[in-house]
Structure 1
Amino acid sequence: MIADQKVVSLNFTVKDTDGQVVDSSEGGAPLVYLHGQKNIIPGLEAALTGKAPGDEFDVTVEPAEGYGDYNEEILQVVPREAFQGVETVEAGMVFTAQTQNGPVQLVVAKVEGEEVTVDPNHPLAGKTLNFSGSVIEVRDATEEELAHGHVHGEGGHHH
């Protein structure tokens, strides 16, 4: 059964409230993660606790238990020259910025002359998400996986 410190493999599809597929393991490798280590969003992790291989799930996760509420206050206006080496900066483009807290993904919200508004919100912030899928495998984590806080090997992290 799925519990903290177990390695879980699952197939999943996640859709937004409009029924658009946001992400899916279909046609690819299953999602493999270490349960109880905040490696997946809290709402999905809570819903999977206690499930066993072969179990199916269908779960709705509100923003507070997903990627958080959309926060307009964290939008930033940066000068166009901050995008050195990029010929054209357009709304919708995604960049990775290095910050003191590590890399942050930024989406260009709008471009006005020499001012570029960037949005560091997670692309799924503020969205209610519908997860469905099935549990493939549940196994004990290795000591190394527990020490590192994530899965190693196939479907997991490679150092």
Structure 2
Amino acid sequence: MAAVAQNSVVTLTYDLSVTDDNQEKVLVEQAESEEPMVFLFGHSGLPEEFERQLDGKNTGDAFSFSLTPDQAYGDYDPQAVVQIPKQVFEIDGKIDDQMLEIGNYLPMADNEGNHMQAKVVEVGDEMVTMDFNHPLAGMVMHFDGKVMEVRPATAEELSHGHVHGEGGHHH
């Protein structure tokens, strides 16, 4: 039986809760057996501490751990909330009002071409307020789950840096 280690493909089910302002756990995401989380360990882009907590676990092992903002997506940064001229969102001279609905996440790119997601916070006549913080920034995250499967990654998965096949990427 393979243990979770560098270059293994890991399949998990989990419940993710965050601590709210009243210090109570609120469920925000689930990966269930019908749609588990599948990732390439050591190449996932997930927080390092998330992977460290799973390192060495075997198929069938349960896990329960928490990540602080420092171990995950950092503190909420008020300076990552910026106003962008509304005309930036024009496509063929028109603005798609459905696209600019408050709460929507939009793919954006900075001046260097780095891609990121931003949440629409406010839409004014001239400006749109966008929040570039990770949705889980500033939150303590609590994971409770189970390792469903661990297998060695294929050479192709390693060269591409992601999982192929069921639960993974399809070319």
Using the size of structure 1 for normalisation, the TM-score is 0.90
Unmatched 5+ stretches in structure 2? none
Superposed CA deviations along residues 84-141 of structure 1, whole A, max 9, x for unmatched, are 2223644323222234444321112223432221111111111110001000111111
Aligned position for 1:143: 155
- Give the length in aligned residue pairs: 159
Matched, 1:97 2:108: yes
User: Structure 2 CA distance, aligned partners of 1:6 and 1:15?
Assistant: 26
**After alignment, is 99-108 or 38-47 more displaced?**
99-108
Matched, 1:110 2:110: no
Corresponding residue SS for 1:33? strand
Contact persistence 2:44–2:162 (CA under 8 A): no
Q: Which amino acid aligns with 2:108?
A: A
User: Structure 2 CA distance, aligned partners of 1:66 and 1:145?
Assistant: 25
User: Structure 2 CA distance, aligned partners of 1:80 and 1:36?
Assistant: 39
Unmatched 5+ stretches in structure 1? none
User: Structure 2 CA distance, aligned partners of 1:90 and 1:12?
Assistant: 30
**After alignment, is 134-143 or 29-38 more displaced?**
29-38
User: Structure 2 CA distance, aligned partners of 1:97 and 1:136?
Assistant: 35
Contact persistence 2:6–2:42 (CA under 8 A): yes
Q: Which amino acid aligns with 1:150?
A: H
User: Structure 2 CA distance, aligned partners of 1:101 and 1:144?
Assistant: 27
User: Structure 2 CA distance, aligned partners of 1:29 and 1:91?
Assistant: 28
Identity rate, percent: 40
User: Structure 2 CA distance, aligned partners of 1:27 and 1:56?
Assistant: 14
